Structure 1
């Protein structure tokens, strides 16, 4: 029988204000009612939860005795939820070399050299964000390009999607990489015509280098994670699904939760590659009494990414003959991991980007469903990026949630059709087709792969354009969503994907009072300007965790 008992960690409230009655009035508020966005004018909060919603100002009882705050006519939405991010990666990216939007490999090397000169004591030089698709020639970079400038210290630079890494010769020397080093299962060492490693490593081959880089300590995580979560709160996020954490990060989150040091909520997925994975599963799901920390899902990698040609396809890549990408695990092995997780009461979230990866993941979930008895796990496919058209109806049929990142479409539009060709692209980033087949999409960003701002994702979902309004009518515009649908991805749907729709993702009596205040109304602003919307305040459990100093609500 699946383990269904959740471990409830009882926490004391650290904020006396949560017991206070509070009314915020004069709002341009929106909530979901019968699957439609409805307006309201005031919200009544008690002990961190919503006590009542008033759709008209005249409905506010004159006898209310608590604190009143004037909402100044600002737009209020339910707290935004990112259904797929990497919080530790986000924290570390702020401390490493920024290579996003580098114009060429030479530009990237220049940034590494400048970073080295500013940090002479660092033993390893690490960075992230390069994307060869945006460079002249679109070729993978080489160690020789780095060696010309940096020979004495190891360099390790992750591609923007995190599924390829670029090393210099010093790093490869430390790792013992030579022409005789075999490709690991589920990974590829890029080689020259003579079989020598060039310095680029794909998917599981990245571990050959990264295992030699010292991990950050638990104490460093305890410092970095709250800072990262506070930065995310500034973007309007009240909850994040952390997609793949190891046992040390589990310990860090539990410590922070016990000390009331989590500024926003975390729904964490245990990493299937962690050495203590089995022990973490046996410990069972973990949920704090105040819902700030939930650990009852797992993240399993199945394939790589499209940009590095690691995504597993049924047929060869259109721009690389006889290459179909990589499965990081044999399907039978992944099925056993998934069974193990489900048997302990965990939701299973499988990373799958290519059409073969998605097909195989759906096959695994079909088998899991047969073992699940009456318990509904709402298993997920993280990314669901390229899907065979005949697989699209299977998501709803199997009750599988496509956890997708709309901004990937506008980032990948410069290379996706080159990789897939004109037919397979019809099942890629296919939000409208999935919704038309009754799938419930959860929205995320995959930060730090992409910016964490949820309104970037809303804009991409609605316009299928980049921030320069290209292409003019949107990239494959038949897949566009409405503003109402796009906002649901980052509110109710994301909460539903975590079994939290009865307490998060909407503004209803009994829900936690998690909400954001905005400088513009997303339903009335020009659609091409959705990404420009600014968050003026973020509240979690009835208290502000971020406020612009000039826009604090006025007391009455």
Structure 2
């Protein structure tokens, strides 16, 4: 069982151009892959590229809007880095998406990055900023195309020996996509699916009861993103990220940055309380030490007020959580979900460039 995957997002991204560090492990190879990807598309056609990885590829930096304009002067260009909490657009893409320097930030921790003069840099941070662009321009257009894309993903999981998954927040929370997903797994089951809906699709979950679905597809709960990613410096931490050439140039971290919460405390409390009262399990994206502590306090308060023996609310990632909080998890019946591959692929960067030796000793406390 893989307890945290995003099959709908994978179904979309498998049709995009690959510029990832696994296949293009040098700066030159990464930029060449991006240039080659643009050449495949006629002028005016959107180019979507996935996997840009300044963490894995030593010396690779975040692409600037000017650089992307030079590579794709005649095509809207959309690049998602490996971390998935930010994207980069060129001027054509910003124009096509209707994003201007006067556009208000979407909120919930997301924003359109601007330079000191107020001009858009092309960097869009967190889902509310970039999902509308992806939804409108970058997804399969027909039911057949969606079914084919989903089946490619499901069979890939099966080939890897995975027989069941938790879709932790269906990343394309459109009613028609969820319908295709559920119906396809009933008519052509490959693996079993435990499905969490994102907060952005909460109206759909409000129409259902926990456990709705069928033997191969069960609605399990609600996914909420409280903070972001260390690789975009949006993970909420107590002490600032390190300041060095890598953090400045590769991922654009401002000195003193500690990330941010995507939710106000009261709004988070109301969202968790509603779904808890409705009987749903919650999965809360909490990467940083401060994020884990703040969400835990809210979760404890909600469960104390309305006890349930079956909630098993989940904390997702917990990259820098203090080991001392896990006793409180056990007391309240909460589950901790870790992504240990961060250590394998990015451990050197996390320790040497982002957090330092003292903090990295408690990286992924599992």
- TM class by shorter-chain length? 0.7 to 0.9
The answer (yes or no) to whether the contact 2:186–2:216 under 8 Å persists in 1 is: no
Q: CA deviation at 1:144?
A: 1.3
User: How many residue pairs end up in the alignment?
Assistant: 347
Residue of structure 2 equivalent to 1:116: 38
Q: Could you tell me which of 226, 243, 246 is aligned with 1:302?
A: 226
Q: Could you tell me which of 78, 94, 98 is aligned with 2:14?
A: 94
SS at match of 1:403: strand
Residue of structure 1 equivalent to 2:76: 154
Residue of structure 1 equivalent to 2:273: 339
Normalised by the length of structure 1, the TM-score is 0.58
Aligned partners of 1:425, 1:357: CA distance in 2, in Å?
Answer: 17
Aligned partners of 1:392, 1:427: CA distance in 2, in Å?
Answer: 13
Aligned partners of 2:111, 2:280: CA distance in 1, in Å?
Answer: 31
Mind listing any 5+ residue stretches in structure 1 that lack a counterpart? 1-80, 432-556
Pair 1:138–1:310, CA change in 2 (3 A): farther
Aligned partners of 1:121, 1:229: CA distance in 2, in Å?
Answer: 33
Residue of structure 1 equivalent to 2:183: 255
Q: Does 1:238 align with 2:163?
A: yes
Q: Could you tell me which of 398, 404, 416 is aligned with 2:338?
A: 404
Pair 1:84–1:415, CA change in 2 (3 A): same
The answer (yes or no) to whether the contact 2:12–2:138 under 8 Å persists in 1 is: no
Q: C-alpha deviations, 1:59-101, integer Å up to 9, x for none?
A: xxxxxxxxxxxxxxxxxxxxxx100001122222221111211
Normalised by the length of structure 2, the TM-score is 0.86
Pair 1:250–1:178, CA change in 2 (3 A): closer
Pair 1:335–1:215, CA change in 2 (3 A): farther
Q: C-alpha deviations, 1:396-448, integer Å up to 9, x for none?
A: 222211111211222221321222233332332111xxxxxxxxxxxxxxxxx
Residue of structure 2 equivalent to 1:165: 87
Q: C-alpha deviations, 1:192-245, integer Å up to 9, x for none?
A: 443422222222433474454254346132232122111210110000111112
Q: Does 1:206 align with 2:140?
A: no
The answer (yes or no) to whether the contact 2:284–2:314 under 8 Å persists in 1 is: yes
Q: C-alpha deviations, 1:479-499, integer Å up to 9, x for none?
A: xxxxxxxxxxxxxxxxxxxxx
Name whichever structure is richer in helix by fraction. 2
Residue of structure 2 equivalent to 1:316: 240
The CA RMSD over aligned residues, in Å, is 2.4
Q: Which has the higher contact order (CA 8 A, sep 6+)?
A: 1
The answer (yes or no) to whether the contact 2:7–2:150 under 8 Å persists in 1 is: yes
Residue of structure 1 equivalent to 2:195: 268
Q: Does 1:82 align with 2:2?
A: yes
Name whichever structure is richer in strand by fraction. 1
Q: CA deviation at 1:160?
A: 0.2
Q: C-alpha deviations, 1:252-310, integer Å up to 9, x for none?
A: 13212442x12110111111112xx1242232123455x31111211111111001111
Mind listing any 5+ residue stretches in structure 2 that lack a counterpart? 244-253
The answer (yes or no) to whether the contact 2:19–2:50 under 8 Å persists in 1 is: yes
